A and B are shown apart, each in its own frame.
Chain A
Amino acid sequence: MSDQAAASQRRHEAGRTHDKAPGEPHEEMSELTNGVRNYLIGLGLAALLTAGSFVISETGLIYGPVVPIALIVFAIAQMGVHLVFFLHLTTAPDNLNNAMALAFGVLIVLLLIGGSLWIMSHLNHNMAPMDQMMQMQH
């Protein structure tokens, strides 16, 4: 094998391992089964996580006050599974912009939800109960 052919072969391998997301389009037939397999893995993981969150919210399997935290962890894990296996989000060069935009979106979402909850809980704490407020106005 000539040097050039070896280089192009190596380049081909590199492209396959680093540039492709799970289930990303490929040319060969075997890649189709690969894509189907990746969607099946994603479906299986998502189903497991969904079943997990239904079970822990229903049964007393884990300590009661921890249940909301566990539910949130399960939900975030499942969102990750969806992003990787269904939306094919990777950090490959072609996909880097998408990942950066997602990171910014996550920042905004966290600020929005966390900030609202924080501010409103403080407001509830510092405000007199509604009936007292009514009496003060009179």
Chain B
Amino acid sequence: MSSASTFAAPESNGQKSRSGGDPYQLGRDAGRDDGSTGRGSGGPAPKRIVVGYGFWIFILSDIIMFAAFFAAFAVLKDATAGGPSGMQLFDRRNVGVETVCLLLSSYTCGMASLAMLRKNQLWFHVAMLATAVLGAMFLGLEFKEFADLVSRGAGPSRSAFLSAFFTLVGCHGLHVTCGLLWLLTMMAQVFAKGFRDDILRRTMCFTLFWHALDIVWVGVFTVVYLMGVTT
């Protein structure tokens, strides 16, 4: 009897922390009355947070992969093997339009996530469709540029510089293609199944992915196109 009471947490202690704990409002969920105190001690995080964290880790690993391609490009920038350099090849107007497309699609993707939180089917589909159209325009422009380069004899096998260029930019384009497929899948799922919790989480992951692609593109147009044309 006495040994049990020494090892078990006294009942009155728990009551006390419930009523008087957390005087400085440091709790993870300060608006709630369940007495959660301190960082991380308010029970398990909501699934939305955990899923977002896991997907964020994936995005970071993806960004590290892109960093390797960026490093390869930066090292091989001048290894043109007597072939054309970036200054002779790149059309900055084309790049500007591509950038505008991707930036606007990031914005409409944010609008879609707001519509999703309001559980508004119409606006969600409108915003996602706008995102898809802008993403497809980006891909079309990039494909046109690649086809143009290859037709001018500046394909990926011409020089180390062009190999690195096609790998880096092509890998980003491949990501955008996958993102477009995922976008259409999410539209179909929301249309068929409605705003279920699991579908909300999947769509949240998609918006994270799409915004991350825009961040990578900021690096691409700065390092590959603008710096390649000026220096």
Contact = CB atoms under 8 A, between A and B. Distances in A.
Interface of A: 8, 10-12, 14-15, 19, 23, 25, 32, 35-36, 39-40, 42-43, 46-47, 50, 53-54, 57-58, 67-68, 71-72, 74-75, 78-79, 82-83, 86-87, 93-94, 96-98, 101-102, 104-105, 108-109, 112-113, 115-117, 120
B68 A75 contact: no
What 9 pairs across the A-B complex have the smallest Cβ distances?
A116-B71, A105-B60, A75-B222, A109-B67, A15-B31, A57-B226, A39-B110, A86-B211, A120-B75
Nearest to A38: B110
B56 interface: yes
Given A72-B222, A83-B215, A116-B74, A19 B30 contact: yes
Interface stretch (B99-107, B142-150, B175-183): B99-107
B190 interface: no
Contact of B72 (A72, A83, A116): A116
Interface in B62-115: 63-64, 67-68, 70-72, 74-75, 92, 96, 99, 103-104, 106-107, 110-111, 114
A94 B92 contact: no
Contacts of B45: 94
A101 B114 contact: no
B28 interface: yes
Chain B, interface size category, equals 35 or more
Interface string B43-59: 00100010011001100
B219 interface: yes
28 contacts: A12-B31, A14-B30, A15-B29, A32-B118, A36-B114, A39-B107, A39-B110, A39-B114, A43-B107, A50-B99, A50-B218, A50-B221, A54-B96, A57-B226, A58-B92, A68-B231, A71-B230, A82-B106, A82-B215, A86-B106, A86-B110, A87-B208, A93-B28, A93-B39, A98-B53, A104-B60, A108-B64, A117-B71
B110 A82 contact: no
Given A43-B103, A87-B211, A112 B64 contact: yes
Contacts of A97: 53
Contacts, number: 125
B184 interface: no
Contacts of B49: 94
Give the interface centre of B57, B92, B226 by most chain A CB atoms within 10 Å: B226
B227 interface: yes
A58 B67 CA distance: 26
Contacts of A71: 222, 226-227, 230
B218 A82 contact: yes
A45 to B, nearest CB: 11
Contact of A108 (B30, B56, B67): B67
Contact of A35 (B57, B114, B214): B114
